[in-house]
Amino acid sequence: MRSLTVRLGVLAVAGMLGLTACSFGTDDPAGSDAGGVTTLRVANPTPVVSLNPFAANSADQPTLTVVQEVFETLVAREDGKLVPKLAESWTNPDPLTWRFVLRKDVTFADGAAMTSADAKASLQALIDGKGPLAGLWAAVDEIGTPDPQTLTIHTTTALGTVLSNLTLLWIAPAAKVADTSFFDAPYGTGPFKVSSFTAGQTVDLVRNENYHGDQPKLTSISYRYIPEVAGRVTALANDEVDVTWGLPPDQLTGLRADDSLTVSSFPTYANYYIWFNSSRKPFTDARVRQAMWYAVDFATISRSLFDQAGAPATGPLPAAVFGSATQNPYGYDPAKAKQLLAEAGYPDGFTTTMMWSSGCCTNGNSFADAMISDWAKVGIVVEPQELERATWLDKLLKLDWDSTMTTGSTVTGDADFTLARLYLSTAKRNGYANADLDKILLQARAELDQEKRASLYAQAGKVVWDEAVGIFPLDLNSNVVLRKGVEGFTPTPNDLPDFAGVSLS
């Protein structure tokens, strides 16, 4: 087993060797060309494998980071409050009906007017796509368009999450939404449109000249996937990129000392977690899952790998998320882990696997090494499986795994997005099924009283935590590193860096 120091050293060397292939080039300093063209050069830490926000990648953070510049939503969350975006207003004629009045002054990038037909087609595509977000809309039985500016959503039961769910419904042209080739270079009503896309490598956006809002100061945004931390750091130092994020904390001290860079760190709705496939032995037994948690010295690992990267988690949701609640902590207790394993019928431990996607997580490989080392001490042999992101996502959705390590964000800021979307039995996301938990989550989803919803989600979080459906070691801070001259960037807690308001000086 390689030490953490060796692992980080290998990463650094690999990054230096691989930088040339990932370089943006140096003949475009500060992202500016003659003629006033301003291009923000972005080094994203995880690959963008799809620009379709209606199917398998509808909750994928790399996908959402880009599509938020291209598409817009009916409702947005600003400063913790839900506010109109493409919708002007909304009402509840009755507990099962939501009526939205849409803006009249909005066109798509091709000049066509945005209407309720586009909103209906987009919501139907999200539901029909049966991706990770489809379950949020399971109660919908009718979507109406009484006129071009009115959308109605009727549900079979009261749905208290409609507004927060709509913050992730991207509105695309009705005539294009079912055409998979459209998402090779999609456009929407947002400030940018896609000019080129190579899955897993690059995305180039250009300004949408038909944008209904204030025109962005940037003429284009160029995303390039640079997987190695050292590669992204060196690209910043060499003025080959203007911005990157998600760097490990051990890199930030040196970057803060560089007068040519600005480092911003801030809390987010994101957390680190390790899921167990509860439909696959030995993880069908909660005692085994709990043993996996007790067996790892997360406090020591956090001090070593995640200083300033976040705070120890106190529940399955970050503290800033609506509906989160503090749970009883798991301590480091190898003897307790061995006892639980013996009670579950595994006194000598067992052999299993853990998968994750390349570049998925801050210090991901080193974190995996440390956990695997601790698990081995109680007889649990874990084979590491680092996969390309597209392969990992495919296996994840098919439940073709023993355990998986990843980070995730409650992007809407509402507990339902994570707890109900991922832990309802019908979601089939981690093999866990609990009728009592289902009852709590469905009751919370149907509740219109927000205080009652929060109480119900606290109960649901306790079940997920106590049953060790996963291990939740860390609530994550995020960091963004900008070259001097990049102005107007505003951090958001949803872990989706938004560059629409950025300018270059």
Summarised one tens digit per residue, pLDDT across range 123-170 is 999 999 999 899 889 899 999 999 999 999 999 999 999 999 999 999
12-26, 128-142, 485-499: least confidently modelled range: 12-26
Residues listed for the chain: 505
Share of the chain above pLDDT 90, in %: 79
Q: Which residue has the higher pLDDT, 4 or 327?
A: 327
Over the stretch 231-264, which tens digit does the pLDDT of each residue have?
A: 999 999 899 999 999 888 888 888 999 999 999 9
Is the pLDDT at 7 greater than 50, yes or no? no
Fold of 268-477: Dipeptide-binding Protein; domain 3 (3.10.105)
Give the tens place of pLDDT for each residue, 402-434: 999 999 989 889 999 999 999 999 999 999 999
Q: Exposed/middle/buried for 362, CB within 10 Å: 0-12, 13-18, 19+?
A: buried
State the pLDDT confidence band at 24, using cuts at 50, 70 and 90.
Answer: very low
pLDDT surpasses 60 at 13: no
Q: What confidence score (pLDDT) does residue 15 get?
A: 34
Burial class (CB in 10 A: 0-12, 13-18, 19+), 260: exposed
Contact 66, 223 (CB under 8 A): yes
* Residue-wise pLDDT tens digits, 179-203: 999 999 999 999 999 999 999 999 9
Ranges 74-88, 106-120, 482-496, most confident: 106-120
First CA to last CA across the chain, in angstroms? 48
pTM for the full predicted model: 0.75
- 268-477 has the same fold as 4-54+187-267+478-504: no
Amino acid 253: pLDDT: 84
Report residue 5's pLDDT band, with 50, 70 and 90 as the boundaries: very low
Closest Cα to residue 149, out of 112, 105, 115, 108? Answer: 115
Q: Residue 44: count other Cβ atoms within 10 Å of its Cβ.
A: 25
Which pLDDT value is given to residue 35?
Answer: 53
Residue 299 has pLDDT above 80, yes or no: yes
Look up residue 428 and give its two tokens. Answer: 């089939």
Range 75-180 has CATH code 3.90.76.10:
yes
Token pair 């032995």 in the structure block, residue: 281
| Between 359 and 59, the higher pLDDT residue | 59
Topology of domain 4-54+187-267+478-504, CATH: D-Maltodextrin-Binding Protein; domain 2 (3.40.190)
Tell whether the model's pLDDT for residue 111 goes beyond 90: yes
Q: What is the mean pLDDT of the chain?
A: 91
Percent residues over pLDDT 70 in the chain: 93
pLDDT on residue 36: 74
Mean pLDDT, residues 75-102: 93
469, 458, 472, 111: which is closest to 314 by C-alpha? 472
pLDDT at 10: 32
CB 155 within 8 A of CB 165: no
For residue 378, the tally of other CB atoms under 10 A from its CB is 21
Q: Residue 465 above 80 pLDDT?
A: yes
* pLDDT band, residue 497 (cuts 50/70/90): very high
Domain boundaries in the chain? 4-54+187-267+478-504, 75-180, 268-477
Eight-class DSSP state of 279: T
Section 445-450 average pLDDT = 85
Residue 310 has pLDDT above 60, yes or no: yes
Q: How far is CA 334 from CA 292, 330, 380, in A?
A: 9, 11, 11
Q: What is the pLDDT of residue 21?
A: 32
